[in-house]
Structure 1
């Protein structure tokens, strides 16, 4: 029932987002601020301010990124963010941004939109027979200048216990699959046995590239003819516990954490807002950009996909987020996990650009 209630709100939210009649009509999220699954206008404005702080640290004349039709400088992004902060507070809730002040520039017409979330993992502060799988801090050997160089692989860390006894353990989980997916998400919450919680954020990695574990799962019998989601992967791993070590170590990349308060934090170092902030490949889309995403979201009841158009802020990155892919932060908890697991949908991505920006004026 709780899940149904969540998705009832979720689908109301989508219905409010579904209209982009033309590229001159830009949908704001303020009209669905009453729903917990959509960000409020305050969250949107806060996120834009954080984007502006980030963009202002860049050289104004330097290229931030290029679209098929425009070269976008950091100055273009700065002017757009400043104009949004001036314009948005003056608009009634649900009003469109004026097309006389803003335009859309297509970034890609074939983007894969996926989802990520902040998982909650049950842990113990000490190793026990039940809680035996450690979460590690960043070793000093790979901090600083050594970050990014190859260190111990996942196999060496998990199966050969290369870091055991070095005082790097933050906590111990009951399931290695929980540890793995926490690393995939890059941040999360720990709930200790006494009931208190602690947030973790990304601290670094072991220098190895990311490799999908799906081919390894297929070697152990995972069906190739089904749509893969986080839920189908977890079900398969739960049904094949003896194969889990070999499957997980097919991905040699290992993520280390640090304890933190507030957040969760993205690559820009600012707290992420659910259903607003996205992870991008910074070679394709610069951090600090304001995007319009036009695509679809999954129907939780298994029906047809639900069209939607939404504003998004590029505030995060991820090892698996490469090329024409965008990862939507869905929040925390089981509902967010369900949405993130189901979301694997194509979309068109546009950059929101002020008409005062030099890149916009050069195209007029």
Structure 2
């Protein structure tokens, strides 16, 4: 809650105003939330408790203590929270993200030839370090024992690096979960935007599936396209999270499919419940929990829905690019503090 409190104290969040510097804040009632009564509040409550105890301010501690008493979930949220709409003047945009799942092995073979690397000391000590093209063509990683696991598809490896975490399915049926360990210090460049710039696809046609297909159909040009992005991500094994649970989010807790939201913490404090009204072809009216962040998630009405793990989740996430609105559920005291008696509007 520190981010929102700091914004209040600095005057950046002002009830009744709406500019890029002064977000508009509107106090709502639960009757204003479209579909509120029909949601599965128990599912949201279970996800909320995953990270509630990590919120250390006194008012949060009281709320989380109440959450341990197994209250009626809907009544719990309606008792301790008030809906607050925060807008910064930008149009709302809701997208999806997922945890990739690759096939791999702990030893290289003719099939599994593409390694995921641990971060080398040289990359920690010199930023920026080598580019993606230099890492993949210079042999700079060889002979250091930095290979974590080998996978069978360099294109899927590239997109795993974009996502930052994932699972690798091993030949014996087991799984190895990997997470972000660091990067080479070069800025990320979108290969989708590059394909659109070249006129290969119109901007609205670009998707992860189209990019993957194009790279595979054009091996030489495809490798050059991947090298257009100089950023390179290194991995570590995530062994504290069982494979049947979601990956770790920004709060260092497992995220939950279709209940975890990645947000901009400058506007949406981590840990708060968020009522999502996503429109589009697959509308969504659901209580989510802000438990993650993302480099592309910027703004008061910008969020990313965690869809799940694997190819189906990836396809679902890839279709998600919709308008709507999101409403924060703030603890009562904090919500009403945004609207002092002398506030205008």
Q: TM-score, normalised by structure 1?
A: 0.73
Question: What does residue 295 of structure 1 align with?
Answer: 278
Question: What does residue 210 of structure 1 align with?
Answer: 188
1:181-239 Cα offsets, whole Å, 9 max, x none, are: 11122211111233322111222222222221123323665211543222222222222
Question: What does residue 172 of structure 1 align with?
Answer: 150
1:89 aligns with 2:71: yes
Question: What does residue 258 of structure 1 align with?
Answer: 236
1:123 alignment partner, one of 104, 110, 122: 104
State the SS of the aligned residue for 1:282: coil
Question: What does residue 331 of structure 2 align with?
Answer: 354
Q: Is contact 1:103–1:355 with CA below 8 Å preserved after alignment?
A: no
CA apart distance, 1:309: 2.0
Question: What does residue 128 of structure 2 align with?
Answer: 150
Question: What does residue 25 of structure 2 align with?
Answer: none
1:236 aligns with 2:195: no
Q: Is contact 1:80–1:353 with CA below 8 Å preserved after alignment?
A: no
State the SS of the aligned residue for 1:356: helix
1:141-193 Cα offsets, whole Å, 9 max, x none, are: 445xx59x322221222233322222111122222111011112221111123
Distance in 2 between residues matched to 1:321 and 1:159, nearest whole Å: 33
Distance in 2 between residues matched to 1:353 and 1:231, nearest whole Å: 38
CA apart distance, 1:100: 9.2
State the SS of the aligned residue for 1:24: helix
Distance in 1 between residues matched to 2:80 and 2:254, nearest whole Å: 32
CA shift in 2, pair 1:253/1:321, >3 Å: farther
Question: What does residue 307 of structure 1 align with?
Answer: 283
Distance in 2 between residues matched to 1:107 and 1:83, nearest whole Å: 31
Distance in 2 between residues matched to 1:315 and 1:142, nearest whole Å: 29
Q: Is contact 2:214–2:222 with CA below 8 Å preserved after alignment?
A: no
1:115-143 Cα offsets, whole Å, 9 max, x none, are: 11111111132333332221111223445
CA shift in 2, pair 1:358/1:118, >3 Å: closer
Distance in 2 between residues matched to 1:84 and 1:222, nearest whole Å: 56
CA apart distance, 1:88: 8.1
- Which consecutive unaligned segments of at least 5 residues does structure 2 have? 1-27
1:114 alignment partner, one of 95, 101, 118: 95
Question: What does residue 55 of structure 1 align with?
Answer: 55
Distance in 2 between residues matched to 1:214 and 1:198, nearest whole Å: 29
Q: Is contact 1:279–1:329 with CA below 8 Å preserved after alignment?
A: yes
1:3-61 Cα offsets, whole Å, 9 max, x none, are: xxxxxxxxxxxxxxxxxx9763447889565xxxxxx72x53343234333331xxx5x
Distance in 2 between residues matched to 1:362 and 1:79, nearest whole Å: 23
Q: Is contact 2:215–2:223 with CA below 8 Å preserved after alignment?
A: no
Structural mapping, 1:27-42, within 5 Å: 41=42
CA shift in 2, pair 1:250/1:88, >3 Å: farther
Q: Is contact 1:105–1:353 with CA below 8 Å preserved after alignment?
A: no
- Which consecutive unaligned segments of at least 5 residues does structure 1 have? 1-20, 34-39, 61-74, 298-304
Distance in 2 between residues matched to 1:88 and 1:227, nearest whole Å: 47
1:24 aligns with 2:31: yes
